[in-house]
């Protein structure tokens, strides 16, 4: 299930860590729509989330701590393979007059939801599919010996194996299947430094191919790819 939400900003700018604001909006919406759903995903521990999202910014100009925009209209795209979860989110957004209530942002800014719509999803029927990123993909590699995370890019020989390992764990944990998905780069960026929760992580954008069972590829298409998907990373579009 895919939703497209259009927001209007009070000022044509966003904090450099704008994903945190949208994550807060998602959490607040789930809490409003279903306390049980909120508790399941955010109550305790760090369970893997079955959704992803991406934010489209009009002609962004990146400063040290601020992103300047060409207009005050921004778009949040949300995707999940669980229709019930999408419905909870949708109902929370349109309930009463909530769509017209400004949501506070950093720096005295605010955003107001003006419209939300259900987007048509494409169908995957073959064992190969080509995707492009709608939000950067993170390939996080945890080093247990130092308790540190490294975010890999295509220049690292471990990038592809790590993406495939993240896919394996995601498919097994969320879909309950032991399936191998092969990741093949087509045209990927060298790496984009992104400030997120006070640190810089390297994200990857571009086009790649996945090979696997059609049902699994459809699952990835709807649920996203890579690490920290539920924080605004790894959303995909089918090419």
What's the pLDDT at 96? 56
User: What are the structural domains of the chain?
Assistant: 2-119 (3.30.70.1890), 128-238 (3.30.70.1900)
Position 99 scores a pLDDT of 67
Residues 6 or more apart from 226 whose CB is under 8 A from it? 137, 138, 139, 140, 163, 166, 233, 234
CA distances, 103 to each of 7, 95, 110, 209 (Å): 10, 15, 5, 38
Q: How do the pLDDT tens digits run along the chain, 239 residues long?
A: 999 999 999 999 999 999 999 999 888 888 887 888 889 888 887 889 999 999 999 999 999 899 999 999 999 999 999 998 888 888 887 775 566 789 999 889 999 998 899 999 999 999 999 999 999 999 999 998 888 999 999 999 999 999 999 999 999 999 999 999 999 999 999 999 999 999 999 999 999 999 999 999 999 999 999 999 999 999 999 99
Query: What local confidence, expressed as pLDDT, does residue 90 receive?
Result: 85
Is pTM beyond 0.75? Reply is yes
- 5, 90 Cβ separation under 8 angstroms: no
């Amino acid at each position: 299930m895919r939703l497209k939400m259009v927001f209007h900003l009070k000022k044509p700018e966003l904090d450099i860590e704008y994903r945190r604001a949208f994550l807060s909006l998602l959490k607040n919406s789930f809490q409003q729509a279903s306390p049980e759903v909120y508790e399941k995903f955010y109550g305790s521990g760090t369970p893997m989330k079955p959704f992803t999202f991406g934010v489209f910014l009009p002609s962004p100009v990146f400063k040290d701590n601020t992103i300047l925009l060409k207009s005050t209209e921004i778009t949040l795209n949300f995707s999940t393979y669980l229709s019930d979860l999408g419905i909870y989110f949708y109902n929370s957004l349109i309930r009463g007059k909530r769509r017209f209530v400004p949501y506070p942002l950093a720096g005295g800014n605010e955003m107001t939801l003006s419209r939300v719509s259900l987007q048509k999803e494409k169908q995957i029927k073959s064992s190969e599919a080509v995707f492009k990123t709608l939000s950067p993909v993170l390939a996080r590699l945890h080093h247990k010996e130092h308790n540190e995370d490294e975010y890999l890019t295509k220049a690292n020989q471990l990038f592809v194996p790590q993406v495939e390992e993240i896919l394996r764990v995601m498919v097994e944990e969320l879909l309950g299947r032991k399936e191998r998905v092969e990741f093949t780069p087509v045209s990927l960026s060298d790496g984009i430094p992104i400030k997120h929760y006070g640190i810089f992580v390297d994200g990857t954008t571009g086009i790649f191919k996945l090979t696997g069972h059609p049902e699994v590829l459809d699952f990835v298409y709807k649920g996203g790819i890579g690490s920290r998907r539920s924080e605004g990373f790894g959303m995909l579009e089918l090419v």
